[in-house]
Amino acid sequence: MQVGILCPGMFVIALVCCAVMLTRAVAQISAPPPMVIYNSNEQDSGDLYLLDIRHQLRLNLTRSPGIDSAASPAPDGQAIAFQSTRDGNREIYVLDLQTFATRNLTHHPAADMFPAWSPDGEVIAFVSDRDGDPEIYAVNLVNGATVNLSRSPGPDARPSWSPDGRQMVFASHRALDTDLYIMDMPPRPDPVWPDRPQVRALSPSPASDLDPAWSPDGRHIVFRSNRGDNIGRLYLLDVDSGDLHYLPTGDRGVDQTPSWSSDGTQLVFWSFRDSSNDIYLMDLRGRLAGEETEPPVINLTNSPARETLPVWFPGWR
């Protein structure tokens, strides 16, 4: 699917004036969420793009000399947090989508990456190796307090909040392999908070489980795993029952970093399956209703560029 690239002013006008028909492939999946943010190296080393699926329009959000990736939108859609190397090392930045002003949130010589905005909009969790190995940190956007939440001897990665903000799922290699863990969250991260959060293993297995994402209704966690065929596939875990379901996507490539639509019926992810890294959309409504058929999957970007790390954008509110 070919898409146009617009400057910010043209993009706003185009969204109002254009009524471009969806391609036949996109039309087969009814009412997709309107926008996705992802990383692409099409124009530079790597920028963040906003894709309007319905109108097939793209906007380059960052245009920096560094690599910008791993976006996490604020709940109200007014800003996004992301990781960038624009100042020489990897830091967490916040981009105001009204003014396009960008600020460095972490200012630390360590590598800070993979931000995750809390549901109440007041905290951003991220991964940092500032204490020797990658661990989960959180910065309070109200008072600036930053705290190491996970404090484990093994590397921790890819935090994802529960919808109520009371828990966080993340991947960790603290045992013999990489598994998913759930951590209880404090009311507000604070440096003087004395105790390590309660953590429990969610997916103990000989396989490596990565890239967890909590569903908007709190019932499911989708993640990538090499169980079965030793290649990265997507799985759906029922949080309460522990039931695990494989999400077949044609078995043509490693599927990574899934992200939920706001209504919890669709996923976007990136995969190397059509001779390039592209962003794909999967319709989960049949699976969630108990059907065993393969979920419909379409290529949203279909570009020779390397396009990765997608996330649904909730829209401006």
The string of pLDDT tens digits covering residues 191-220 is: 555 566 788 888 778 889 999 999 999 999
pLDDT 10s digits, 116-153 = 999 999 999 999 999 889 999 999 898 888 989 988 88
What pLDDT sits at residue 1?
44
The total of other beta-carbon atoms located within 10 Å of residue 96's CB is: 13
Q: Reduce the secondary structure of the chain to three states and give it as a string.
A: CCCEEECHHHHHHHHHHCCCCCCHHHHCCCCCCCEEEEEECCCCCCEEEEEECCCCEEEECCCCCCCEEEEEECCCCCEEEEEECCCCCCEEEEEECCCCCEEECCCCCCCEEEEEECCCCCEEEEEECCCCCCEEEEEECCCCCEEECCCCCCCEEEEEECCCCCEEEEEECCCCCCEEEEEECCCCCCCCCCCCCCEEECCCCCCCEEEEEECCCCCEEEEEECCCCCCCEEEEEECCCCCEEEECCCCCCCEEEEEECCCCCEEEEEEECCCCEEEEEEECHHHHCCCCCCCCEEECCCCCCCEEEEEEECCCC
The per-residue pLDDT for range 79-105, each reduced to its tens digit, is: 999 999 999 999 999 999 999 999 999
Q: Which of 258, 255, 254, 234 is CA-nearest to residue 246? A: 234
Q: What is the mean pLDDT of the chain?
A: 85
CA distance 203 to 280: 25
pLDDT greater than 60 at residue 30: no
CA separation for the pair 128, 108 (Å, rounded): 9
Total of domains in the chain: 1
Residue 267: other Cβ atoms inside 10 A:
26
pLDDT(265) > 60: yes
> What is the maximum span of the chain, computed from C-alpha positions, in angstroms?
56
Q: In what order do the strands lie in the sheet with 277-283?
A: 255-260, 266-272, 277-283, 297-299
Residue 193 pLDDT:
56
Contact 48, 37 (CB under 8 A): yes
CATH of the domain at 250: 2.120.10.30
pLDDT the model gives residue 25: 38
Tell me the CA distances in angstroms from 103 to 63, 263, 299, one per residue in order: 14, 30, 33
Domain hosting 86: range is 4-313
Determine the Cα–Cα distance for residues 150 and 197; give it in Å rounded to an integer.
7
pLDDT for 187 beyond 80: no
Report the alpha-carbon distance of residue 248 to residue 262 in Å, rounded: 22
113: nearest Cα among 74, 159, 75, 152: 159
Burial (0-12, 13-18, 19+ Cβ within 10 Å), 39: buried
Band of pLDDT at residue 254, cut at 50, 70 and 90: confident
What are the phi and psi torsion angles at 40 (to 5°)? Answer: -145, 145
pTM score of the predicted model: 0.86
C-alpha torsion sign, points 301, 306, 311, 314: negative
The per-residue pLDDT for 81 is 98
What average pLDDT does the segment 24-31 reach? 40
Single out the residue of 261, 275, 260, 266 nearest to residue 306, CA to CA: 275
pLDDT of residue 12: 42
